[in-house]
Structure 1
């Protein structure tokens, strides 16, 4: 009787075969497992919109996502990341989900909290749930860790970010699409329609719904940018709710909504990255 193989083993064999087909062989396999996952890109972008109050010009946002601690990403890498983020001197920090790969099997949670506590941002640190934050009985584990770390966990609600002159923008956070119950309507309730709104949604494909709420910017993760990209074949690892939008900028709807999909920092399912380096993203806001 043929031996059954897991989805992970099947994907691993498939990737190994594709490396061989494209002449990458053992070198490509080693590079994608041991080197590229540690090659961090720091990408900086300007967000220009007439709804941004002029007093928010050059307001700096740092987004990080999908660390998946316990799979391939470790506490030492997280410590280096914290130093790198602080060196950027962000005004506000967003974490867009998937902190640990399997929360109830990760035994170094006591290390995570003091590291994340070191992150500094005068206008706050905000986070949302990813699917892995709910998985592995992790819903309460993640909530406890992230809140003890000084982050405000947004769960279908919002937060006003207000400057001394009274001008403000709004940060809206929704639950994960795969294992949670995202509710944009509830999250946005009470937010002035003409205000500048930033939506944090782990799942990028929810932008197709968010475009109906006069939201100007959505920041997402989840896709890992496809994680492994083979020339002429494209991305190999595309999860549900990241099938329409999986990396970088998109303009959606008539408003339009600007969506940015962060490639994340860690890996999941397979410990590989190929032509898809991990990413830390810096956004600077400007009024048009």
Structure 2
């Protein structure tokens, strides 16, 4: 995968790389996910009746991060996930694709910039921690962070609107190269107080060779905190790993917020 290691980074949980979630229950389909049409109206998810969690601390955010044991497959933890960047995500969205819908073009540009800069949910307002894992040419990035509640809700609502606003568009890099981007909704298991998933495919060239970058994104809110997992690469998406990572990461965050310590073993509490 093409990278820009010279530019230090950011995120969490993912690469190809940005809400106001209404506190209402989203309609679900038979397999527990929401349809794309429903997601436009409101982000996937429901309001939890669980008691208000405690404040997330820096040590708590770090403890809530996924471990290698939480992920199936041959994922290996890396020491520098903040340095990951993929040049296929760099480009200016072609406004002409949207006719008179300039606002939609701006939303799609924000999506591209957010995937590249690992800040799809905006800047955390409090504690934040990041973990990254690699497997072949695929990468998985997780961020656990505290946010301003209204800003977090706005970000989730924005993510839910993207499959309609940015279903397919073109971006142009500084050399004039074209990238075709497709955005669809991804269903997530019921966890946390609200959630939203995306599947993003970017087709272009890397080092003069045709390349396709596929990213899966999962964002889950727990009170005023959130888990954001992004995974994929030139080998294809990582839907299963991202979905499982978001579910397990949410459980670990809840454990931390309840005053306990997540176990080093999957599914346990110390």
Q: TM-score, normalised to structure 1's length?
A: 0.28
Structure whose residues are more often strand by fraction: 2
Q: Which entry has the higher C-alpha Rg, 1 or 2?
A: 1
